[in-house]
Amino acid sequence: MTDSLKEAQKRPVIFWFLLFFVALGAMALILDRSNIEDPLIANAMMLVPMIFLVKAGLNAMHNAGRHGERGSPQRNYLTRMLVLSLAYVGSLFAATELIGEGDPITPVSIAIAIIPGIAVVGYFWAMGRYIVELKDEFLRMLMVRQSLIATGLAFSAASVWGFLESFGQAPHIEAYWWPILWFFGIGVGAVVNKLTYGTTGETC
């Protein structure tokens, strides 16, 4: 199979990621303007963007598979992240439906509420497995570099905001936003790698 034919089989990823963010913003805007109070309807609407995210993930896994053994670690990583994302969204949906405001705290409610957090922990595990499975030392270095940049960004922001909040100079921020900032930092790290080394290390 020629390189041009292989290239022709490459499926778009960025396009579907952009659609995901557009749909996410559109659903958030609709919910804000329509004052929908039923959590079932609101959560169902927020599931719509996940269709585009799943499509982006499937395309990325396909593209990684085109690189054979070199693409296997990335394909495994994307598969794990996709499964964890679906588990996160599903568990968050279930927790919102099953735990009402003012409900008593029970072992069952704690178990339901903790599952989305465990899914986020799974993201870090998946990234660690990806680094371990990478055989190319240069790609591994790029990934470690991204992780360090993300960690520095998230921890620095958490420290600064924590002190501002403790002295009453800033509003409270829920703790789950710091892992979200960490993943944003992964994107920042990819940009830094691109600027300094000419590549982000992606195979798809």
Phi-psi region of 201 (alpha: psi -120 to 50; beta: other; left: phi over 0): left
Asked if 201 contacts 70 with a C-beta cutoff of 8 angstroms, the reply is no
pTM over 0.85: no
Side-chain-side CA neighbours of residue 44 (13 Å): 6
Give the tens place of pLDDT for each residue, 74-105: 888 888 888 888 888 888 888 887 887 778 88
7 pLDDT tier (thresholds 50, 70, 90): very low
Query: What number is the average pLDDT over the span 35-56?
Result: 74
Angle at 19 between CA 124 and CA 67, to 5 degrees: 55
Phi, psi angle pair for 148, to nearest 5°: -65, -40
Rounded distance between C-alpha atoms, residue 151 and residue 85, angstroms: 21
Whole-number Å distance between alpha carbons of 180 and 190: 16
When pLDDT is cut at 50, 70 and 90, the band that residue 2 belongs to is very low
> Higher-confidence residue: 150 or 50?
150
